Amino acid sequence: MTVTRVAGPRAAPAIRKPGPFPVRWLVRALSLLVVVGAWQVLTTADARIGVNFDRLPSPSEVAGELAKQLSSPVYYLDLVQSVIRILTGFGLAAVAGIGLGVLVARSRWAADLLLPPLEAVRPIPAIALVPIAILLFPTDEQGIVFITATAAFFPILVSTRHAVRALPTLWEEAVRTLGGRRRHVLWHVVLPGALPGIFGGLSVGMGVAWICVISAEMISGELGVGYRTWHAYTVVDYPAVLVGMASIGVLGWLTSAAVEVLGRRLTRWLPRGEGSLR
């Protein structure tokens, strides 16, 4: 008599936890050093590979230019001006995008009235609105903020709309059964449930806003990191160009990280996976 052994369910593979905090930051710093080292090697190589890396400023030249700019108040004035434009435009876009996103997701009439013109405008690159901004606004500052807000608005709107529409209808039905009104559903079900998706849109919107504010500063600005970077290019000051690019990257990373940190704090009630990265 042959006995057949039935295998039980396999245990799920254990999720590998990330390494200790100092080790992870050491790895991240090492990756940046590898990039800088490769940059240094390429700038000293010849053009046999078909790309003129030897024309790029070396890391030491860029570091010297950065030290020079750090001692100038104009550099900090440009940083502050760009950050003010970003925060103003992004704040306007966040309020409008989240508000309209919830509205068109919750109201069929609002969706029928608002979505057709919004969808017609959405594919237009925000930087293409520079002529419109020049016509509409009396100052370049207002025009740049308008372009920045327009760029960030659509990712936030779309993400909010999809996040609200993806919520289980059972949640709302449970609140209404217990006597909750529409405002209770909105504040205690819709907005908390849609927060992860909303912050995904905010993070994307921040990145797009930086792209457009820098482009707008290059075209019509008088101050800002984008304007200073373009001015350095016109006078063939390539180390200053790379300093501007690095400054844009650091500012973009800091603002995006701030959005993500705020999102994690506001959604800390959500379950986290064991291997989730921080």
Mean pLDDT for each 10-residue chunk of the chain (278 residues)? 49 52 81 83 66 77 90 92 93 94 90 91 86 85 90 94 84 68 74 88 92 84 86 90 92 92 84 50
Q: Which residues contact 278 (CB under 8 A, 6 or more apart)?
A: 18
Q: Determine the pLDDT at residue 186.
A: 73
CA distance 168 to 156: 21
The rounded Cα 77 to chain-centroid distance in angstroms is: 23
Picking from 110, 143, 114, 142, the residue whose alpha carbon sits closest to that of residue 129 is 143
Q: Decide if 196 contacts 158 (C-beta within 8 A).
A: no
Q: Which residues contact 67 (CB under 8 A, 6 or more apart)?
A: none
Neighbours of 255 (CB within 10 A): 19
Confidence (pTM): 0.80
Picking from 200, 198, 204, the residue whose alpha carbon sits closest to that of residue 167 is 198
Q: Where are the alpha helices (DSSP H) in the chain?
A: 21-43, 59-70, 73-106, 108-121, 130-136, 140-165, 169-177, 182-185, 191-220, 225-234, 238-266
> 1-15 as b/e, with b when 16 or more CB fall inside 10 Å?
eeeeeeeeeeeeeee
Q: Determine the pLDDT at residue 178.
A: 65
CATH of the structural domain 60-266, one choice from 2.60.40.1220, 3.90.1150.10, 1.10.3720.10, 1.20.1440.230: 1.10.3720.10
Q: Determine the pLDDT at residue 8.
A: 47
Picking from 243, 250, 219, the residue whose alpha carbon sits closest to that of residue 62 is 243
Q: Decide if 35 contacts 41 (C-beta within 8 A).
A: no
Neighbours of 32 (CB within 10 A): 9
